Structure 1
């Protein structure tokens, strides 16, 4: 049996099975997120079964989705960016714990380490000054001799080069709309991130799952562009990553990731 199991549930949601624990990143488990509609395979109860830990990278509505969190067991440990705990509890989310970049927590044989991210941490985005705010972050998930880097939403930042011995990097390569705001990786910038991170495997996420309702079916160039953006970014990322030491595994939303042998060998 492979020591690591990954399922790309969709958007930034990945089911990580490692060291006897089940982790869910930024769970989006419903068919609607505010004005966004899920345009791919619906999430199933199997995606959220037996979850032990939830890792929340930042407070944006497509990453901290309250209706999805309410679908999980009340006993799940919800790990939120430091400063977000009181707000989440006020919304009925139980078992909330806080973590900041550089801090660690342990669950059984699993260790979670907070990592910095270059992204807005405000609930309503970078231009708002009202409402909850907590620093955006990523996570290192370590156990059974394997390390997974869940980047959350981020642009490039120098500290990426300091994250050593990553086996699998879950890297965002687009978003849900026709354009990207600040604090995101495009396919080209995600390929640049590989040169800093040097993971053995990269799995592109944050693509092909959500879109503004009706936009993919719109006539003309706007609909055509959105339809392309629901498909092309991970393949553009894989093409730009050719020649690197990292194997890119493009996995459609709703499917298990076909992982190779992750036995550690010498790095070049």
Structure 2
């Protein structure tokens, strides 16, 4: 029987495949990503492309994937302008708190505490507010993808509104929250399973799954399951 799955492609790039066969790619950085085990051309199908913000380590392959697979692209309006200038079509422009249903998945945009820029003609331009997403899979789990962010108190509202089952949280520090912040985020969200991301790509990203587990224990959250994935690994997720 088909299952819902998650594949980690290194750093902050994930592919979700629902039991009904919908393929969702989040923040595609495959080209020149030192932790990505595959080439962009090896991705066989993309129905939905989600972009949290404009930084290159989250959008490097966005235009190429959009042109290769013609997915529905979900992002904020300012980043949509950049994509349109690159010839990308079929963009669903949403904003904080807004939702769009695409087949068997409903996508809701949430806040993130970070920055967001893109480059046109060597000029660094504002790419709108950074974001996270809640993915509500029909007859499957609800997944909170935090994007690049620090912990913030309104994660408690994400818990109240969306009750996520699984959170995908950055733990690397330096450019996002570190393990202590991620542990507090876990508490605010009320999730029992966390997939760490945005760590190990470069030496400056010092957080690790082990130090994250230690931070969870220190916060009396030792029952939370840290799902430590390796780049290229696919796991099944229940609902």
TM-score normalized by the length of structure 2 = 0.85
1: CA distance between counterparts of 2:82 and 2:114? Answer: 20
CA 1:7–1:145 in structure 2 vs 1: closer, same or farther (change >3 Å)? Answer: closer
CA 1:61–1:40 in structure 2 vs 1: closer, same or farther (change >3 Å)? Answer: closer
Question: 3-state DSSP class of the match of 1:62?
Answer: helix
Matches within 5 A, 1:1-268: 1=1, 3-18=3-18, 20=20, 21-30=22-31, 32=32, 38-44=33-39, 48-65=43-60, 67-72=61-66, 73-123=68-118, 130-143=124-137, 144-164=139-159, 165-174=163-172, 180-181=174-175, 184-209=176-201, 211=202, 226=203, 229=206, 233-242=208-217, 243-244=220-221, 245-257=223-235, 259=237, 262=238
Mapped contact 1:61–1:123 kept (Cα < 8 A): yes
Question: 3-state DSSP class of the match of 1:139?
Answer: strand
> Offset at 1:60?
0.8
Question: 3-state DSSP class of the match of 1:112?
Answer: strand
Mapped contact 2:27–2:51 kept (Cα < 8 A): yes
CA 1:47–1:55 in structure 2 vs 1: closer, same or farther (change >3 Å)? Answer: farther
2: CA distance between counterparts of 1:228 and 1:10? Answer: 13
CA 1:44–1:257 in structure 2 vs 1: closer, same or farther (change >3 Å)? Answer: farther
1: CA distance between counterparts of 2:136 and 2:53? Answer: 20
Which structure 1 residue ranges, 5 or more long, are not aligned? 33-37, 212-225, 264-268
TM-score normalized by the length of structure 1 = 0.76
Count of aligned positions: 227
Which structure 2 residue ranges, 5 or more long, are not aligned? none
> Offset at 1:240?
1.7
> Offset at 1:46?
8.1
Question: 3-state DSSP class of the match of 1:118?
Answer: coil
RMSD value, Cα? 2.4
